[in-house]
Amino acid sequence: MSSVSGDTRPYSTCFVLMGVSGSGKSIIGESLANRLGVQFIDGDNLHPKSNIEKMSAKIPLTDEDRRPWLEQIQQLVHQWNVDNVTGVVVCSALKKKYRDIIRSKSHKRTEDFIRQTDGSQIQADDTTRITDDLNRMEIASSGTDNRVRFIYLKANFNLILQRLQNRAGHFMPPDLLQSQFRTLEEPDVNVETDVTTVNVDRPLEEVVDECCRIVRKEMERPD
């Protein structure tokens, strides 16, 4: 599925639903994609087993832990762009440098990520490996930048905590929520102009309605 029902689009765009665990990314993203008739991928399912095990053990992920996961999201967005597919993908994307990786395949963005990462997490040979891996991705992909928009699902700590405490079958323990809020870098709309904030402290249907309006508006204009 690559078209918005009832719409004729001259181009495709990937929409990333971002935010902390418990903000409703998965259910909102799936509802949004179903309503619009576009692709949907839950980025949580792209985490390597080692990440899931760490989170289940209440161990916060490091930047190095997140690297292969972010690369998976980036490659997915690239492929959707190449295939002219519109889709919705769920990814917490808590830091700006994580969002920058998804936005662009450029070597400069890769260097920025490495430079901003704590040296205790990435050693010299890891830096070379990361650069080589992402360079191969750049060569293999099309020459265009990613067409991507972020929808930040925002809610306060107490609301998210209550949701997590009531949720079963998810690998993010409520105890890790505080760590996620500490990691979160809320987008500055004056800098990250491709991000729209949606408050989720209201009924699900209202949130999905607003996200649909955002997507339809974005699809009306070329990048």
pLDDT bucket at 27, cuts 50 / 70 / 90: very high
More confident position, 127 or 86: 86
Contacts of 50 (CB under 8 A, 6+ apart): 65
Question: For 192-218, what is the mean pLDDT?
Answer: 95
Pairing of strands 87-90, 14-18: parallel
**Domain total in the chain:** 1
In terms of Cβ atoms closer than 10 Å to its own Cβ (0-12, 13-18, 19+), residue 158 is exposed
Q: Considering only 76-80, 138-142, 192-196, which range has the smallest mean pLDDT? A: 138-142
What is the Cα–Cα distance from 124 to 186, expressed in whole angstroms? 30
Domain that holds residue 202: 14-219
Which CATH number goes with the domain that contains 183? 3.40.50.300
> CB of 90 within 8 A of CB of 49?
no
φ/ψ region of 101 (left if φ > 0, alpha if ψ in -120 to 50, else beta) reads alpha
Does residue 9 fall inside a structural domain? no
Does residue 68 fall inside a structural domain? yes
Does residue 137 fall inside a structural domain? yes
Contacts of 220 (CB under 8 A, 6+ apart): none
Does residue 8 fall inside a structural domain? no
Two structure tokens written together for 51: 């990440």
User: pTM value?
Assistant: 0.75
Residue 212 φ then ψ, to 5°: -60, -45
107-124 pLDDT, tens digit each: 344 444 445 555 444 455
Does residue 4 fall inside a structural domain? no
